Amino acid sequence: MASSSTATADTARRGGTVPVSGPSRPRRRQRSPWVPWAYLLPAFAVYAAFLLYPLVRSAQLSLYEWDGLTLGTFVGFQNYAEVLTNPDLRGSFGHTLVLIGFYAVLPVLLGLPLAGLLTRAKARGLAFFRTVVFLPQVVAMVVVAVAWRRIYDPDGPLNDVLRAVGLDSLARGWLGDYTLALPAVGLIGTWVQLGLVTVLLMAGMSRIPTERYEAARLDGAGPVREFFAVTLPAVRGEVAVALTLTIIAALKTFDLIYVTTAGGPGNSTAVPSYEVYRRAFKLGEVGSAAAVAIVLTVLIFAISLVVNRIADREEK
Amino acid sequence: MSRAPERPGRFRTPARLRAAVGLVAVLSLFGAAACAPGSDSKKPAGDGTDRTVQTDAAKLGNVTLTIWDQEVRGGQAEQMKALNDAFHAKYPNITIKRVSRSFDDLGATLRLALSGNDAPDVVQANNGRADMGKFVQAQQLIALDPWAKAYGWTERYPDSVLQYSRYSADGKTFGEGNIYGLPQVGEIVGIFYSKDKLAKLGLQPPKTWSDLTSALATAKQGGEIPLQLGNLDKWPALHVFGTIQGQFVPADTVTQLAFGRRGASWTTPENTRAAEELLKWVNAGYFNGSPNGTDYDKAWQNLAKGQGVFLIGGSWLGADLGKAMGDKVGFVAPPPGQDGKVAATGGTGLPFTITSKAKNPDAAAAYINFITSSDAMATLTRTGNMPVVETSKQQAPAGVQGDIFTAFGATTESGRLLPYLDYATPTMADNMGAALQELIAKRSSPQQFLQKLQDDYGKFVDGNG
């Protein structure tokens, strides 16, 4: 491609046969309007085959009662009615809202000062700290989950530390505790997402011209004032991106739950994507699983849209 | 912050609209192309139980058998490898392609694998309705009766063992009908105990139920953890409850409930007593600190490390516990119930089945026959597993394995094996697991607990016709 275009350019420069201006333009306009679509076709075919078709198929399956093996029966919107009325399923959507707090809100709240510190501080070994903060993002989620499952074990390191400092009464089987299992899993998410959020925010902060900080300093602002007056407004876009990514991650959490608690104790850490898996593969309720998946997809779309709308508006 | 009605985005609306219309058009095209999911599996030509079979595997030509098993733990993996090697040595024309996964992973992937075109030939399928029952219903497994006749399986295997892999051809009735699989090993849930701890507390292995409960109390007073339970994965408590239930509930009722057959009930005074007994153990602090937060493997490892006196678990833990504790660990079947007979949860290992997509069912059957032959039973014994048949013919191994052989032999001969409770309905494993976690966490009463099980069982029995 590169060589052929160079050849064409060469011919043109030499005043050869390729007409550069004038009459050629209208002729080009008359080309079939389908040509641009033809360029899109290969990419669209892949997109359609691996995304649109599964999506439509899921939507279709969600209208059936199907065990994955024998012939399904059409049940209309009954599966969706179940999503809304089944307390276990509704509970699982509630759990993801809690997880959003841990996956998205907390990392952003912690990541902002952390990124500020890492960009503005003049300490040595900053690259090292940056790497450390980002590391959890690099490790596979299943590995993270297995590691944390050990940490939260009744005889695990966390309880050892608590006992060592005399807080024996706090030591417990974290993942088996009805009130604490969900926050415990959520904190793993915080730990993982913090790296991503921090690095995103650091990228944004490094684009802020130093003059602004100098100006703030001259006006007598301290580091805190400086952060709120200069840094924070400048990284609104990054915050929106970070929130979108982490909220989506929270909503589709599966591996972490699957490995750490399998939705337990009881159903206290069940999340929609785990329900999708459980229904489709363990219970053989594929239709109901598809309905949960579709509802989850719509929810992810809606929440991401709202986050981006808000960020857009604030940027205006 | 202003409403900004002149946002440039507004002008794009018609274009967006057109794109949306186009998208909808494309999507509906996809939708029209798709029809009702699944296939109608009504085959007119009977259930294939009258086919003629070839039992000489050497005459089958070159065959590759793809086999999915879950024999991944120490001794299980060892016997499987030994038997596979021996089979290939005896029949060089048959090549074995082995895929082994953990129990959980196998269960989750089997459904997809069987409905795909590239299905394995032999799979180990869980006996329960959610697995084997569904596969039979969808005609993805073939009935083994012709081979059972040809190889004489029905003579070698007692009915009480074969019932666990029998289904009616429509997959609706569990425990009777065609044979769909053949297991290698027997399983029994009983009580492991630490000999050191019993000696320290001045106790004997429990022979009666009151022996057991008073031993638990003594252990508690002696500052020990009476009973190890790792219930993070939800299902392990089923075995504890099943053991208690065998004590209070007539064996016929448990069998009916566990096979998901009509006519029994969970909300009976006997079941209530069983649930209350479990709650009593929780209230008395007999379990380790946080059973719902403890890993299954962690529980037996803790017993091996000298924490805890008893562990109610399956014989499959014997190999690992024996390795870790040597002769310091013992095993007994649950004490005899109120009718004087031992009733223990147990049955068979996962049966090996032949899929309907198997390219050469005769070769698959020859393989299954080989790994369940009398020679194979000896290999199983040697590698620390408990053969499901001819158990008494084997030289009982020393240590805890010997205890397990004795317990299984006694239970199958003079007592009764109770089916796993989660066989009952496709949803029972999950619902009962969650319900037991709640009972153990004292978040539901015995009555609420049993009502949940009754709801699941009742709904299934009504719908099963």
Q: Which of A243, A246, A244, A237 is nearest to A311 (CA)?
A: A237
Does B184 have pLDDT greater than 70? yes
Please tell me which residue of chain A has the smallest CA distance to B444. A266
Which of A265, A281, A314 is the closest to B441 by Cβ? A265
Please tell me if residue B17 touches chain A, with a CB cutoff of 8 Å: no
Please tell me if residue B5 touches chain A, with a CB cutoff of 8 Å: no
Six token digits for residue B134: 């569904």
The whole-number pLDDT of residue B94 equals 93
CB–CB of A266 and B31 under 8 A?
A: no
The proportion of chain A whose per-residue pLDDT surpasses 70, expressed as a percent, equals 89
Six token digits for residue A78: 């009954």
Residue B188, sorted as left (phi over 0), alpha (psi -120 to 50) or beta, turns out to be: beta
At residue A156, the 3 state secondary structure works out as coil
The whole-number pLDDT of residue B194 equals 95
Please tell me which residue of chain B has the smallest CA distance to A149. B295
Distance of CA B422 to the CA centre of its chain: 8
Rounded to an integer, what distance in angstroms lies between the CA atom of residue B228 and that of residue B308? Answer: 6
Please tell me if residue A49 touches chain B, with a CB cutoff of 8 Å: no
Distance from CA of B90 to the nearest CA of A (A): 37
Strand partners, A138: none
Please tell me if residue B150 touches chain A, with a CB cutoff of 8 Å: no
Which residues 184-223 on chain B approach chain A with CB closer than 8 angstroms? none
Helix H or strand E segment including B354: strand B352-354
Q: Which residues of B touch A159 (CB under 8 A)?
A: none
Mean predicted lDDT score pLDDT of chain B: 86
Which of A57, A70, A152 is the closest to B38 by Cβ? A70
Residue B294 has phi, psi (to 5 degrees) of -105, 135
CB–CB of B37 and A61 under 8 A?
A: yes
Q: Which residues of A touch B429 (CB under 8 A)?
A: 282
Report ipTM (2 d.p.). 0.70
Express each pLDDT in B312-347 by its tens digit.
Answer: 999 889 888 988 999 999 999 999 987 788 899 988
How far, CA to CA in Å, does B414 sit from each of B248, B255, B344?
18, 17, 12
Strand partners, B188: B346
Express each pLDDT in A211-229 by its tens digit.
Answer: 888 888 888 888 888 888 8
CB–CB of A173 and B1 under 8 A?
A: no
Express each pLDDT in B43-57 by its tens digit.
Answer: 444 456 778 888 888
Over residues A30-52, mean pLDDT = 88
What residue type is assigned to position B156 of the chain? R
Please tell me if residue B455 touches chain A, with a CB cutoff of 8 Å: no
Which of B115, B232, B295 is the closest to A68 by Cβ? B115
B18-27, B236-245, B291-300, range with greatest mean pLDDT: B236-245
Does B203 have pLDDT greater than 50? yes
Express each pLDDT in B144-172 by its tens digit.
Answer: 999 999 999 988 887 778 889 999 998 88
The answer to whether B229 and B236 have CB atoms below 8 angstroms apart is yes
The whole-number pLDDT of residue B39 equals 64
Helix H or strand E segment including B123: strand B122-124
Buried b (16+ CB within 10 A) or exposed e, B454-465: bebbbebbeebe
The whole-number pLDDT of residue B40 equals 60
Residue B33: which pLDDT band, with cuts at 50, 70 and 90?
Answer: very low
At residue B102, the 3 state secondary structure works out as coil
What residue type is assigned to position A67 of the chain? D
The whole-number pLDDT of residue B173 equals 87
Does A154 have pLDDT greater than 90? no
Dihedral sign for Cα atoms in the order B216, B217, B218, B224 = positive
Strand partners, B465: none
Express each pLDDT in B259-309 by its tens digit.
Answer: 888 889 999 999 999 999 999 999 999 999 889 988 898 899 999 999 999
Please tell me if residue B402 touches chain A, with a CB cutoff of 8 Å: no
Please tell me if residue B345 touches chain A, with a CB cutoff of 8 Å: no
Q: Which of A119-133, A200-214, B142-156 has the lowest mean pLDDT?
A: A119-133
> Which of B139, B292, B296, B427 to mutate against chain A (most A CBs within 10 Å)?
B292
Q: Which residues of B touch A312 (CB under 8 A)?
A: none
Distance from CA of A148 to the nearest CA of B (A): 12
Measure the CA dihedral B317/B322/B325/B331, to 10°.
70
What residue type is assigned to position A103 of the chain? Y
CB–CB of B434 and A267 under 8 A?
A: yes
The whole-number pLDDT of residue B236 equals 92
Beta-strand pair B186-194/B343-348: antiparallel
How far, CA to CA in Å, does B241 sit from each of B261, B276, B324?
20, 10, 26
The whole-number pLDDT of residue B44 equals 41
What residue type is assigned to position B23 of the chain? L
Q: Which residues of B touch A156 (CB under 8 A)?
A: none
Does A78 have pLDDT greater than 80? yes
Distance from CA of B379 to the nearest CA of A (A): 33
Rounded to an integer, what distance in angstroms lies between the CA atom of residue B241 and that of residue B334? Answer: 12
A1-5, B232-236, B392-396, range with greatest mean pLDDT: B232-236
CA atoms within a 13 Å half-sphere pointing along the CA-CB vector of B43: 13
Please tell me if residue A255 touches chain B, with a CB cutoff of 8 Å: no
Q: How wide is the angle at C-alpha A12 spanned by C-alphas A11 and A14, nearest 5°?
A: 65
Over residues A221-241, mean pLDDT = 87
Express each pLDDT in A181-190 by its tens digit.
Answer: 999 999 999 9
Rounded to an integer, what distance in angstroms lies between the CA atom of residue A63 and that of residue A80? Answer: 8
Q: Which of A75, A103, A273 is nearest to A186 (CA)?
A: A103
Please tell me which residue of chain A has the smallest CA distance to B434. A266
Rounded to an integer, what distance in angstroms lies between the CA atom of residue A72 and that of residue A63? Answer: 10
Does B26 have pLDDT greater than 60? no
Does B21 have pLDDT greater than 90? no
The answer to whether A255 and A264 have CB atoms below 8 angstroms apart is no
Distance from CA of A309 to the nearest CA of B (A): 11
Which of A57, A261, A313 is the closest to B1 by Cβ? A313
The whole-number pLDDT of residue A315 equals 57
CB–CB of A71 and B233 under 8 A?
A: no
Distance from CA of A183 to the nearest CA of B (A): 14
Six token digits for residue A59: 């939507």
Please tell me which residue of chain A has the smallest CA distance to B307. A155
Does B446 have pLDDT greater than 80? yes
Mean predicted lDDT score pLDDT of chain A: 84
Answer with the residue of higher pLDDT: B342 or B20. B342
The whole-number pLDDT of residue B277 equals 96
The answer to whether B299 and B230 have CB atoms below 8 angstroms apart is yes
CB atoms within 10 A of CB B133: 27
Beta-strand pair B352-354/B122-124: antiparallel
CB–CB of B293 and A67 under 8 A?
A: no
Please tell me if residue A135 touches chain B, with a CB cutoff of 8 Å: no
Which of B138, B293, B438 is the closest to A266 by Cβ? B438
Q: Which of B76-85, B129-138, B211-220, B248-257 has the lowest mean pLDDT?
A: B129-138
Which of B34, B39, B134 is the closest to A60 by Cβ? B34
Over residues B232-238, mean pLDDT = 89
Q: Which residues of A touch B463 (CB under 8 A)?
A: none
